[in-house]
Structure 1
Amino acid sequence: MKIWENYQVDHINRLEPHAHFSTFPTKEKALINENKYTHAFKNLNGLWKFLLVDAPEYSPSKFYEPDFDTGEMADIKVPGNWQVQGYGKMHYSDLWYNFPINPPYVPTENPTGIYKRQFMIDDSFEGKKMILRFCGVDSAFHVWINGHEIGYSKGARNEAEFDITEFVHKESANDLTVRVYQWSDGTYLEDQDMWWLSGIFRDVELLGVPFEGLNDFKVIADLDDEYKNGLLDLSFTFRQEKGQHIEVELRDRSGKMVLSQQITDGQTSFHAEIPNVAHWTAETPELYQLLISVYEGEKLIEVIPQKVGFRNIRLAGDVFLVNGIAIKFKGVNRHDYNPRNGRVVSKEEIEQDIILMKQFNINAIRTSHYPASSYLYELCDEYGMYVIDETDLECHGFELTGKYDWISNDPKWETAYVSRMVRMIERDKNHPSILMWSLGNESAFGTNFVKMTEVAKEMDPTRLVHYEGDFEVEAADIYSTMYTWLEHPTKKPLMKTVIEESKKPHILCEYGHAMGNGPGNLKDYQDLFYAHEKLQGGFIWEWFDHGIESYTETGEKYYRYGGDFGDDPSNKDFCIDGMLMPDRTPSPSLYEYKKVIEPIQTTAIDLKTGEIELLSRFDFQNLQIFDLYYSIFEDETLIEDGTIALPSIPAREKIKMTLPYHLDFIPKPGASYFLHISYQLKATTTYAPKGYELASANFELPIKTAGIEVIPSGSLQVEQSETSLSVTGANFTIAFDTVRGTLLELIRNGQKIIERGPKFTMWRAPISNDMEIIDEMKKEHFLHLEHEIVSSFEWKKTDHSVQVSVQTINSTTNSAWHYKCTYTYTICGSGDILFNLEGIPSGKIDTAPDMLPRLGVTMHVNKEMNQVKYLGRGPRENYADSKEAGYLGVYNSTVEDMFTNYVVPQASGNRMDTRWAAWIDDRGQGLFAANNDGFNFSTSYYEECDLDNAKHTCDLAKRDYVVVNLDYKQNALGSYSCGQWQLEKYRTTFEKFNLSFRLTGFNAKEVGAVALSHEDLTSLF
């Protein structure tokens, strides 16, 4: 049997797993804790020689020998995935194995990468045990040093170490050869939702460590039952037993020594109680510095630094507690990912991730679906982030075989399963940020998971065990589900069942599929989490879009996804599902999530007097870390502001307070007044500067004044031909096509403002979360193929206006249901157009779709009018089920910025509760649209068909006009790409509607948009 197909062989000569730590010659260097200052260290990253062959058997003869001619080999970067460096084939799939399922066998054509490099060692390695560490290699590999086979390992996202001491030359160059197999029996356990990427993708390191030093140590930093004193338990194993003894020192954050203890010869464990310790939580990541010094007699052998956080994790009925509190996970699932380098990520990138998460109120990470780089856990300890550490194990492709538990329930595979979990626990066991060990993902359930749980509990009884695939919660401590529905049309939704029946704590290990424009319903989930103690939060899928950075022939950057490389089968753009776009731009959904999980919930009690209520959503932290900054706006003008230092408000408590603003001014007729509250950090933290906003609130103040009554006047001339109608006033002309019933254009002062008037539409370009219903929308209801049939076109002239009425039938191809629509235009002598559209459901109503993408109109506006000002929800896009971060106010933007440039083009940019919007060119000429009852609007340079047809951003070509959508209602987003579809209360349905608004051409040098909004023309509607 080929060794890369022998699932009974977990490794050859790989060292036993242990905690990831560094060893230093002195305490001073240990406190610096950089690799440069260790006993001996050599990073072997860089350019290696590389050869890719079609199968291991095609490897050149004696390729592992030092004198092998590398002249024909290419250069490749390590760490790196060979596919993103131009070798082999890029392939993305969420589910399928890329070969026949016949475990443990893999394809004969098994792309194999041969890596070679040379290295020298210096005097620092003299007298040291030399360990070669591979931090991540996909999928399995052999290692040779100077022609000697050192060993073999698999388990792609686990560290592998080999003792190479006896094979290393001290005085001359050493030859290192690694042969990596793309497919191995381990691949059956590595079918995660991500790009199939191979090679040495994490650091390669040469360590020189004392023979007499520690091989491993374990830290348990717990709390007593009163959550007051710290319980410190240490255990040690030596590489060689030679009568060493240990000195333990523990210092708090200020550097104060809280423990100094000599551990006598032969003692391998130690217990101490530390009074009144500071607790570690994600909100208060209090860390102590532990130094473990190893002596042989009086000789200092090594010093090992380790950060320690005291916290307690336990089950209590149907909740789990951290330091006695049933916390809420406000989490994300995170892959290691970089759009240029694949699965290669640096410590700096990981730190950027965690800082950004903290700035967006995220407090938890699930390492989907494998252990992350060791850097992540150090940073989570330091910054404060709860972690579910997940085993490198997923067998998703078996789901479609009818025998999902094919190998999960086969005891012969037990070693392969258990080994991966043991290696994860041993490496990461000393990190306080880790609350749970996860057994893997989407691999059914069976005897091997039962065994994994037993071993995990034996190794570490202080943490909880998680596994979503344990549907009956036979072994896991937590009832974990994915994409759990809040409502369902035909059966009781699982979330309701969990609330009513579950006897164990519940988390959503995946929910809120952040694919493209979405997800919706985040507030609905969070409200449930807060309402039920047993619902302890969840993890959004996922953090990062997995797009591959690419360039067109003209140098335009865009991102490719599954199927763009000829990869088949592929789940296409299913990898573009993050809250962070590939260029690290936060998506609108990340701002929505930040708002939904913010630490302060603000309720207005009496806005006339400034009385509000603050509810802390922290589990531990006091709200006195914030200043409250309030500001009052008259439309867009700041008229009053102030800052208040928040008093002591314990976690989960609420208080009432009064803001010292004054509303005794004379309000301006027709103006709108808004109160904005911003909760800002009083002091700089590790993740954000002083003044950074973590929570906010927005209210419209109860100040209502009538607008300035305006009675439009002016003479109008009307000209009619067989197919057109023209209405002319003092400085404008409006033209209609009487056959199609369409407003053709509005010309003001010789400049065309409207290039095509309002036209009813039910269609918006599909969003990623529509993926499961696109066929229904397009192939059953043909919603993208709209028809408007004009029944009548009539007009009449009054003293100061012309009224145009158009009756239409609006429907789609082959549909027996339709809208009877009435367009009414009242054209005033001033040039104002008062527009009304009424739609009445008609025809075979029972054949209409349950849900419509939108009900509204679309228009074309002069492309020069690219400046946008509006009063509505902003500043980013918002929808019925994703509007918490959309605050009412006056915003200034551009047509360009109103469009969200998703990797896969789709509908975007909607703004709800809009009262008015204006498009203005650089000379002040503009178009104004208003309706005090509110409407939805969006604007871009693209028609819906452009967005629908484009596969990438580079496929989009701007129209030579601005597209304006003014909607009565826009459908919600949902999360139906994976999860809950649009909730009933947020849906746009086949319903009666009436959409009215004022359209006015204007010149901002005569009157601004804000001033226009103060005018009252309601008597004319």
Structure 2
Amino acid sequence: MSATQTKAAAGNDWENPQMIGQNKEPAHCTLIPYADRKKAIIGKRTASRFYQSLNGKWKFHWVKKPADRPMDFYKPGYDTSSWKEITVPSNWQMQGYGIPIYLNSAYPFEKNPPSIQHHYNPVGSYRKEFEIPGDWLERDYQVFIHFDGVESAFYLWVNGKKVGYSQGSRTPAEFNITRYLGKGKNLLAVEVFRWSDGSYLECQDFWRLSGIYRNVYLFAAPSVHIRDFEVQAHLDENYRDAMLKVTAKVRNYGSQPSRNTCIEVSLLDSGNRPVGSDILVTGDSVYIAPGAESIVKMKAPVKNPRKWWAEEPNLYTVLLTLKDGKGNILEIESCKFGFRKVEIKKGQLLVNGAPVLLKGVNRHEHDPDTGHYVSPASMIKDIHLMKQFNINTVRTCHYPDDPLWYELCDRYGLYVIDEANIESHGMGYKPENTFANKPEWKEAHLDRIRRMVERDKNHPCVIIWSMGNEAGDGTNFEAGSYWIHQRDPSRPVHYERAKQRPHTDIVCPMYWDIDEIVTYAQTPQDRPLILCEYAHAMGNSVGNLQDYWDAIETYHHLQGGSIWDWVDQGLRKRTKDGREFWAFGGDFGEERHDNNFCINGLVLPDRGVTPKLIEVKKVYQNVGFKAVDLLAGKIEIHNKFFFTNLKKYTVKWVLHEDSTLLQSGTLGALDIEPGARKPVTIPLGKPVPKPGAEYWLRASFHLAENTQWAQKGHEIAAHQFKLPLEKQVTPIDILQLDPVDLREQENEVIVSGSDFSVGFNRDTGTLTSLRFKEVEFIEKGLEPNFWRAPTDNDFGNKMPQRCAPWQKAGKTRKVEKFQVKKTGNSVVRVTVDFSLPDVGSTFHTIYTVLGSGDIVVENRFIPGPGSKELPELPRLGMTMRLPQGFEYVQWYGRGPHENYWDRKTGAFVGYYQSTVTEQFVPYVSPQENGYKTDVRWVALSNKDGTGLLVVGKPLICFSALHFTIDDLTREKRGSLHLTDLTPRDFVVLNIDYKQTGVGGNDSWGARPLPKYTLFPKEYSYGFCLKPFSRGDHPMKLSKKRWPSARF
């Protein structure tokens, strides 16, 4: 930044990085005084008589640029009769003022730091009248106004008098307004600027919104007041006994000295019973001069307190009772607190001495209707889902969250990586460009770090301080790390852009692949590696998550990571005709945007669960299973918890013969200590195998009691084993089949039997008709297919361009050979050879039509001489359309949810029933979806029970949707919404060998792992088509051994 720019900007507070605030109170922990012990123990701040909410309706005025703002609006006599009302907390864009802007890394304004464009920088003017409770004034209390969050900078007036200024939108701004107040009605005026110089440090990958979006409230305090306090637990080297240390800052706001002021500390357990005595420790009496502040330090030993960790979040209540020299209670402060110790030893992060694995997600504060304001109910919903799906860590990307979030994480048990509100991604990372190296921006960095630490220091859930995200690196972060270590040595410091420099205690890269993290872990290290972001969950993604965790659980320097990210950041919007959809970048007419790159969640905007999250649950589960001797029921159980014995869970097991339940039971409490492995015998009765049957043993662990986050019986872990039992099916006796008739015409071949007919087209080489008892099953013929609708990851790695020849390969095929041969009284064989000019390869299909009505389809793909130059195949299979009405689908394979080659760990083999409509997965931007792998058979039927069975030889993959691949294929990422789709009447059935995996590293270049990629080579696969009637069960029909043809 040039000296000229600095001088030009210096005239406005909101264009001056040196101006962080005016008259703001120093940062402190979240607190509210209480007048009585009972309410202090409950700890509900809103119930304190010292608390008054200012949430609700405010008068509001909005302009596009600062020059147009009403300059005198803060004056009591200003006429606001024409102003509308707005709800606080909220973002004003969500209430119809201006537009939301989604950008990933660019600034939404002209980049010229610290200046902010003047031609468009909306300003919101807020006014609200309020009255102070009478006793607040009568008792000469101090009154403070507290803003939990305002985007991005604001001025404050009370009764026409300027109080102060603030920027830094993700930590509180608090002002002492005592001297501005009067009796009766008081006028509050707030002027909010959409962008300020602070916005240069708030360039996060989220919707750029503005306004008073978190709680606003008043609180009163006696003239001698505990302004701040810190509670620390120092565990001994055995992590057993603790020294509780409490430090309080007591300020005298009055005009008279405060003599013999003291603080009594009480510690209560979860049943609100005192630990030790009613008063655990009393601090020394202090003298506090008017306007002065005194620091009171207290400590007391606590013998073997119950420890806090995410698995069992044991909380205590700490009460600080402030008394005057006569013993009168002035106020009581309350804090929920947990005894735990965080440290790094021998290159591992330890919590209470255990090298925990962080099974995490990144979480933006997002609501589809209210933007950055997230209600308490929504927060609790998030936490319930996270706990239910085995997530134990949240990174507050990329700013400190609402204070309530930390209280909930304390209560429910989630580790938190608390991140400062610093991201200057739009400046890039070059040392000469980044603010991290600019002295004039140093205090802005440090202020954001300090305010986070001071606010959240008492929360046991916070185990790591993160200095920010994608803000370059330099001296300002070195200073931030030094300050944190001096201020709070009880927690490690984390910063991704520091890489492996000394000012980060944790190596925390983003999107390193598996080979990279393994390379790090294979050599001795003094720091753990925890991925701050990985498994970019954009659209149909999160492939190879199990592969990541196979590595993480192998190397002790690898301790997990946080998936990007928790929730799709879609905003609820309606089309002109009233249909609802999830909006993303560009949907509000903004010129600059990053499309649907904000749609990266494990859950949908309304917190609907996606198949990705189900995979996460399985991979993150804390119980491991290993086969030992399955026929004897012997398995090994590995307790992957760090603090929890598995005896607190119930264990269930079931044994299925295909879809039939044979046996089931429960096991007694399994006494398996954390980290231990133990052999377990399940009392199986060895079944007598039936021809073609498979035997599946499923073992699962369940909550034995209700918890805060799930009901008794909730499944926390499960695994499926296939028993090594099989009996061959007797081959079909061709001689016993009914005869078939063959009719050949110019371009058509018809094979017919007693109640069926099959038609082929010579010109296209396709199966064009299959009729059974007067019901037609084919609307469009069975034809080769090598394409899938690109996923977001596909777009990111340029698959649509690279693999474009495969999109046309099936459509531009040429029939090189079409041969029909009746090989017996009951068998007709149709052989079709296709050339694929676009890819220089061939595809060969043999149809064997049997007198039973079965059609055996065998396929062979052969790449041509130049196959080394060919890209990978997105898919290898065949596609067809069934007429309207074939809505009911059942299958025997992996499910019940969508699964792919590299994302199927959490999808167990079983018999499932659904509808074609329900197969569709509503990704915010449509793409490939609804797939099923390792399928033995799939059947589609109509309401009359007539259907078509497809049996793999031995396995297939399938999808059945009311959309064609072309319907779901976008020209570019984010160019489609769900409302752009119209379901077809017909059913598109894809019968595949496989698809290439969906990928799981990132969404801007990484391809699926080679082990999950269909490289051009020779492939063969087959299946059988069989019509059936009501009363025929596909499972029974599938137990046949059909003849095979030779290519």
* Superposition TM-score, scaled by structure 1 size: 0.96
Counterpart contact for 1:548–1:560, Cα < 8 Å: yes
- Tell me which residue corresponds to 2:344: 315
- CA shift for structure 1 position 711: 3.1
Query: How far 1:778 sits from its partner (Å)?
Result: 5.8
The aligned runs of 1:675-824 (5 Å cut-off) are 675-707=697-729, 709-711=731-733, 713-774=737-798, 777=801, 781=805, 783=807, 786-797=811-822, 798-812=824-838, 817-824=839-846
CA-CA distance at 1:1011 after TM superposition: 1.1
Distance 2:195 2:208 in 1: 10
Q: How many residues align?
A: 1007
User: Cα distance, 1:788 vs. partner?
Assistant: 0.8
Question: Aligned ranges for residues 77-156 of structure 1 at < 5 Å?
Answer: 77-109=87-119, 110-126=121-137, 127=139, 128-156=141-169
CA shift for structure 1 position 620: 1.2
- Greater displacement, 149-158 / 74-83: 74-83
CA contact (8 A) 2:768 2:782 kept: no
In the alignment, does 2:272 pair up with 1:255?
Answer: yes
Q: Residue 208 of structure 1 aligns with which residue?
A: 220
Opposite residue 242 of structure 1, the aligned amino acid is S
Kept in 1, the 8 Å contact 2:729–2:1041? The answer is yes
Measure how far apart 1:404 and its partner are: 6.7
Query: Which of 303, 324, 337 does residue 275 from structure 1 map onto?
Result: 303
CA 1:979 to 1:377, structure 2 compared with 1: closer, same or farther past 3 Å?
farther
Whole-Å Cα distance in 1 between the matches of residues 67 and 522 of structure 2? 56
| Percent pairwise identity | 37
The CA distance in 2 between the partners of 1:943 and 1:151, in whole Å, is 60
- CA shift at 1:867, angstroms? 1.1
Per mean C-alpha deviation after superposition, the further-off stretch among 73-82 and 666-675 is 666-675
Distance 1:291 1:61 in 2: 46
Structure 2: which amino acid aligns with 1:31? I
Q: Shift in Å at residue 857 of structure 1?
A: 0.8
Deviation of residue 843 (structure 1)? 4.3
Deviation at 1:523, TM superposition (A): 0.9
Cα displacement string for residues 86-120 of structure 1 (whole angstroms, at most 9, x for unaligned residues): 11122111010123322111101211111111112
Cα distance between partner residues in 2 of 1:420 and 1:85: 29
Which residue, 950, 970, 982 being the options, matches 2:995?
A: 970
Once the 2 structures are TM-superposed, how far is the Cα of residue 781 of structure 1 from its aligned partner?
A: 4.0
Shift of 1:399: 1.3
Deviations 1:804-832 (A, max 9, x none): 111111253xxxx3221111111111111
Are the structure 2 counterparts of residues 636 and 782 from structure 1 closer, same or farther at C-alpha, using a change threshold of 3 Å? closer
Instruction: Tell me if the contact between 1:746 and 1:755 (Cα under 8 Å) persists in the aligned partners.
Output: no
SS at match of 1:256: coil
CA distance in 2, matches of 1:566, 1:463: 44
Q: Partner of 2:239: helix, strand, or coil?
A: coil
Which of the numbers 2, 21, 32 marks the counterpart of 1:11? Answer: 21
TM-aligned CA distance change 1:571 to 1:36, over 3 Å? closer
Q: Which residue of 1 aligns with 2:394?
A: 365
The aligned counterpart of 1:264 is 284
Aligned partner of residue 614 in structure 2, secondary structure: helix
Measure, in 1, the Cα distance between the counterparts of 2:63 and 2:496. Answer: 39
Shift of 1:320: 1.9
| Aligned counterpart, 1:985 | 1011
| Preserved contact between residue 794 and residue 800 of structure 2 (Cα < 8 Å) | no
Q: Is the 8 A contact 2:757 2:772 kept in 1?
A: yes
Give the counterpart letter for 2:133 in structure 1: D
Counterpart of 2:614 in structure 1 is: 591
* Partner secondary structure for residue 510 of structure 1: strand
Which position in structure 1 is the counterpart of 2:1036? 1011
User: SS of 2:718's equivalent?
Assistant: strand
Looking at structure 1, the residues matched to 808 and 580 of structure 2 have their Cα atoms a distance apart, in angstroms, of 29
What amino acid maps onto 2:951 in structure 1?
A
Map 1:139-538 onto structure 2 (within 5 A): 139-171=152-184, 173-240=185-252, 242-243=258-259, 244-259=261-276, 260-266=280-286, 268-296=296-324, 297-399=326-428, 405-487=433-515, 493=516, 495-500=518-523, 502-538=525-561
Equivalent of residue 660 in structure 1, options 677, 683, 686: 683
CA contact (8 A) 1:510 1:540 kept: yes
Q: Which amino acid aligns with 2:739?
A: S
Report the CA distance shift for 1:439/1:376 in structure 2 as closer, same or farther (over 3 A). Answer: same
Secondary structure of the structure 1 residue equivalent to 2:917: coil
2:886 aligned to which of 850, 853, 865: 865
Q: Which amino acid aligns with 1:119?
A: F
Corresponding residue number in structure 1 for 2:957: 936
Query: Which residue identity is paired with 1:769?
Result: N
Aligned to 1:490: none
Match of 1:564 in 2: 587
Deviation of 1:960 after TM superposition, in Å, equals 2.2
Which whole-Å CA distance do the structure 1 matches of 2:318 and 2:803 have between them? 65
Query: CA–CA distance in 1 between the matches of 2:122 and 2:521?
Result: 46
Q: Is the contact between residue 393 and residue 441 of structure 1 (CA under 8 Å) also seen in structure 2?
A: yes
Q: Is the 8 A contact 1:407 1:413 kept in 2?
A: yes
Q: Tell me how far apart the structure 2 counterparts of residues 504 and 771 of structure 1 sit (CA, whole Å).
A: 36
One-letter code aligned to 2:134: D
Residue in 1 that maps onto 2:912:
891
User: Match of 1:1004, as an amino acid?
Assistant: R
Which residue number in structure 2 is paired with residue 839 of structure 1?
861
Q: Secondary structure at the match of 2:589?
A: coil
Secondary structure in structure 2 of the residue aligned to 1:939: strand
| Distance in structure 2 (CA, Å) of the matches to 1:674 and 1:890 | 11
CA 1:405–1:462: 2 relative to 1, 3 Å? farther
Q: Tell me the SS of whatever aligns to 2:1011.
A: helix
CA positional deviation for 1:531: 0.7
Distance 1:877 1:644, change over 3 A: same
Which residue is equivalent to 2:5? none
**Cα distance per residue 1:502-533 (max 9 Å; x no partner):** 43111100000011111111111111111111
Instruction: Answer whether contact 1:39 1:209 (CA < 8 A) is retained.
Output: no
What's the CA shift for 1:501?
6.0
Instruction: Sort the Cα spacing of 1:405 and 1:616 in 2 relative to 1 into closer, same or farther, 3 A.
Output: farther
Change in 2 beyond 3 A, CA 1:855/1:782: closer
For each residue in 1:348-372, what CA deviation from the matched residue of structure 2 results, as whole angstroms up to 9, or x when unmatched? 2111111110111111110000000
Contact 2:537 2:602 in 1 (8 A): yes
Change (3 A) 1:124 1:926: farther
Letter in 2 for 1:390: E
The SS at the match of 1:500 is: coil
Shift of residue 638 of structure 1?
1.6
Amino acid at match of 2:680: M
The offset of 1:777, in angstroms, is 3.0
Contact 1:339 1:547 in 2 (8 A): yes
Whole-angstrom CA distance in 2 between matches of 1:666 and 1:399: 67
Q: Does the residue aligned with 1:821 lie in a helix, a strand or coil?
A: strand
Instruction: For structure 1, list consecutive stretches of 5 or more residues without a partner in the other structure.
Output: 488-492
Using the TM superposition, give the Cα deviation of residue 37 of structure 1 relative to its aligned residue in structure 2, in angstroms: 2.8
Deviation of the 1:22 alpha carbon? 1.9
Aligned-residue offset at 1:54: 2.0
Cα deviation 1:898-957 (Å, max 9, x = unaligned): 221111111012211111111111111000011242111111111111001360111111
The answer on whether the counterparts of 2:738 and 2:753 sit within 8 Å (CA) in structure 1 is yes
Is the partner of 2:597 in helix, strand or coil? helix
Equivalent residues of 2:318, 2:337 under 8 A apart: yes
**Most deviating of 267-276 and 709-718:** 709-718
Q: 1: distance between equivalents of 2:1017 and 2:865?
A: 13
Using the alignment, how far apart are the partners of 1:132 and 1:469 within structure 2? 36
Tell me, yes or no, if the aligned pair for 1:793 and 1:804 is still in contact at 8 Å.
Answer: yes
Structure 1 residues 419 and 872, CA, compared in 2 at 3 Å: closer, same or farther? same
TM-score (norm 2): 0.94
The ranges of structure 1 where at least 4 consecutive aligned residues each deviate by more than 6 angstroms after the TM superposition are: none
Matches of 2:135 and 2:721, distance apart in 1: 65
Whether the 8 Å contact between 2:517 and 2:529 is mirrored in structure 1 is no
CA separation in 2, counterparts of 1:699 and 1:1004?
Answer: 32
Deviations 1:175-200 (A, max 9, x none): 11111001101010000000110111
Look up the equivalent residue of 2:857 and give its one-letter code: F
CA–CA separation in structure 2 for the residues paired with 1:312 and 1:5? 42
